[in-house]
Structure 1
Amino acid sequence: MILTVTLNPALDLTYRLPAVRLHAGNRVRDVRQQAGGKGINVARVLAALGRTAIVTGLAGGPTGQALRADLAAAALHDELVEVAGETRRTVAVADDRDTTVFLEPGPPVTAPEWRRFLAHYRRLLPGAAVAVLSGSLPPGLSADAYAVLIGLARAHGVPAVLDADGPALLRALPAGPAVVKPNAHELAAATGTGDPVRGAERLRAAGAAAVVASLGPDGLLAATAEGRWRARPPEALPGNPIGAGDSAVAALALGLADGTPWPERLRRAAALSAATVLAPVAGQYDAGAYRRLLGEVRIEPLEPDGPQSDRPQRTAESRPTPPPRPTAQPRGEP
């Protein structure tokens, strides 16, 4: 079983229309509502892949009740903990060219509610092969909330996959997550470099065992103790990118649970992520495209000490000058 944790879930509304006109009335062609949040999307993908997933986190109010009703309709295992505040909503406006998302902040969580959740989380961990910790933190929780959850998981022998950004990501690294999965923007913001290889190695140096960065249409990059690889889809697929990263997390969690070698784990994550772009809403993927892409994703090993390595590179100016040698002897390399 894979345990997915969504501390700030949402009731997702998706509006589809041919084109969005700013500062004008827009007639919506189609409306979709479902339980959302990154961890819930991961659980949906895992269920579609035939694997058992448990959804836990925090939910409250009428919106939280609607979210839980949708989980029940989808036959997802609901282990959410009730809070007094109202669960947030998100609104995605998708036209034929792009998608714009509006994110509410979520309900404030009190100290007693957090303690109640931690007790519940401890009870769920013994049955978990992997814990997936995803998404933003609701108001009221400290930035070290994920560090606490990773520490508890490790105490139970459960590896954790973390998909977070900002202070929540940085504060969690010393706790030792098995995998962290930032996107390119989150990675650059967390590490101060636009070089994804160097950024990934900096997160590893800070405590992550492995880092997988989502690079949008350019696929995925993995930096691990076993090596570094790029996974590239054969083409950029048009569609809705929302949820593509969550599908990648689902594949990475499965690979961790099953002990799949890293190159194949990355191949599946890239294929599943790309196939999700073709689905209408987050938490779904195009099964036919996934099967096709599995054979078309290119896996490229990266040199351990290549030009993008975080190891300082020695230039001609920085090389030390060799000491003088007798002219009768051949000069060695500096």
Structure 2
Amino acid sequence: MILTLTLNPAIDMNYQLDHLNIDQVNRCGHVIKTAGGKGLNVTRVLKCAEADVLATGFLGGKTGEFITEELDHAGIKHHFVSISGNTRHCLALMHEGNQTEILEDGPSISEEEADAFLKEYDRLLEQATVVTASGSLPKGLKKSFYQQLIEHAGRKNRKFLLDTSGESLKEGIKGAPYLIKLNQDELVALIGKEVNTEAEILASVKQLAETGVKFIVVSLGKKGAMGFFDGHAFIVEPPIVKAVSAVGSGDSMIAGLAYGIDKGLTPEEALTYGATFGTLNAMEARTGYIDQTQIESFKKKITVRAVD
């Protein structure tokens, strides 16, 4: 079973606008409301792929109830810890080919709520083979909370995939997760210097590998992704497609990676699934959704090449 962590979930509201008129009234006839947060995007994609997946994290208030109802309606298994605060909203404005986001901070987690989650997490780890953790940490949790979760998983020999940024990523790496996924901007922030060329990215990834992370994935957007595992680097490149919305494609890549790793595939094969899931998501209007019937045929269109 794949266990997905969404510690700061949200109701994602996607507004499709022809134009965004600043300082004026904007009317929208096309609104999509989704049980969101990066980890729940991962969960939905895995559900689309018919993987055995269960979601956990923190939920509270009426917004939390909405997310629970949405997950139940979708047939997604979940065990969230209840909190006194209200789960947040996040707004994405799609306009003129652009995407403008407004993200609420979300609730503050108490020490008692954090302890309750750790107990639930340890129980769920008994059933899990792979764990994914995506997105920001809510207020109230220590920046080292991901590190703590990674260490708990490590003691049970569970593979932990981490997709976060900033201090949460820096602290999380100290726990030696099995895999981290980051984009070029996050890589620059982490190592403290610019990386532009393939060779510079590879040199930076090799530096990160010295921290004990087994599998490092750097998303390259439309160009695919670089993977580094056990001293070997490779790049997966998807075909050019007509993208509808790139929202959730990074989360879908994590879903594909988890899917491949859970099946015991090689790193190259797992990253091929990551690129497949990420690209299929970009071809859909819905966030965190792929067409399961296209997975195997589309995967054959992904190219993999070794990097010196």
Q: Say if 2:192 is the partner of 1:217.
A: no
Q: Say if 2:258 is the partner of 1:253.
A: yes
1:131 maps to amino acid: V
Instruction: Give distance in 2, aligned partners of 1:70 and 1:39.
Output: 15
Structure 2 equivalent of residue 27 of structure 1? 27
Structure 1 equivalent of residue 164 of structure 2? 164
Aligned residue for 2:152, secondary structure, equals helix
The list of structure 1 runs, each at least 4 consecutive aligned residues, that deviate by more than 6 angstroms after superposition, is none
Describe how 1:178-327 pairs up with structure 2 within 5 A: 178-193=178-193, 194=195, 195-225=200-230, 227-235=232-240, 237-287=242-292, 290-303=295-308
Instruction: Give distance in 2, aligned partners of 1:287 and 1:258.
Output: 17
Compare 39-48 and 201-210 and name the one that shifted more. 201-210
Describe how 1:49-68 pairs up with structure 2 within 5 A: 49-68=49-68
Superposed displacement of residue 156, structure 1 = 1.2
Instruction: Give distance in 1, aligned partners of 2:55 and 2:132.
Output: 10
Aligned residue for 1:127, secondary structure, equals coil
Superposed displacement of residue 199, structure 1 = 2.5
Percent sequence identity over aligned pairs = 32
Instruction: Give distance in 1, aligned partners of 2:30 and 2:107.
Output: 28
Describe how 1:78-227 pairs up with structure 2 within 5 A: 78-193=78-193, 194=195, 195-225=200-230, 227=232
Aligned residue for 2:5, secondary structure, equals strand
Superposed displacement of residue 185, structure 1 = 1.1
Task: Decide whether the 8 Å contact of 1:275 with 1:287 is kept in 2.
Answer: no
Relative to structure 1, is the Cα distance of residues 293 and 95 closer, same or farther in structure 2, using a 3 angstrom cutoff?
A: farther
Instruction: Give distance in 2, aligned partners of 1:45 and 1:276.
Output: 8
Could you say which structure has the higher strand fraction? Answer: 2
Q: Say if 2:38 is the partner of 1:38.
A: yes
Superposed displacement of residue 29, structure 1 = 2.7
Unaligned runs of 5+ in 2: none
Task: Decide whether the 8 Å contact of 2:258 with 2:270 is kept in 1.
Answer: no
Superposed displacement of residue 236, structure 1 = 5.4
Q: With the length of structure 1 as denominator, give the TM-score of the two structures.
A: 0.87
For residues 290-312 of structure 1, the C-alpha deviation after alignment (integer angstroms, 9 at most, x for no partner) is 44531222211001xxxxxxxxx
Instruction: Give distance in 1, aligned partners of 2:23 and 2:294.
Output: 37
Aligned residue for 1:24, secondary structure, equals coil
Instruction: Give distance in 2, aligned partners of 1:237 and 1:287.
Output: 18
Higher RCO (CA-CA < 8 Å; seq separation 6+): 2
Q: How many pairs does the alignment contain?
A: 303
Instruction: Give distance in 1, aligned partners of 2:295 and 2:205.
Output: 26
Aligned residue for 2:279, secondary structure, equals helix
Q: Say if 2:8 is the partner of 1:8.
A: yes
Instruction: Give distance in 2, aligned partners of 1:231 and 1:21.
Output: 39
Instruction: Give distance in 2, aligned partners of 1:127 and 1:24.
Output: 52
Task: Decide whether the 8 Å contact of 1:99 with 1:240 is kept in 2.
Answer: no
Aligned residue for 1:142, secondary structure, equals coil
Instruction: Give distance in 2, aligned partners of 1:107 and 1:203.
Output: 32
Compare 130-139 and 182-191 and name the one that shifted more. 182-191
Compare 9-18 and 190-199 and name the one that shifted more. 190-199
Compare 234-243 and 138-147 and name the one that shifted more. 234-243
Aligned residue for 1:92, secondary structure, equals strand
Structure 2 equivalent of residue 76 of structure 1? 76
Q: With the length of structure 2 as denominator, give the TM-score of the two structures.
A: 0.94
Superposed displacement of residue 285, structure 1 = 2.0
Note the aligned Cα RMSD (angstroms).
1.5
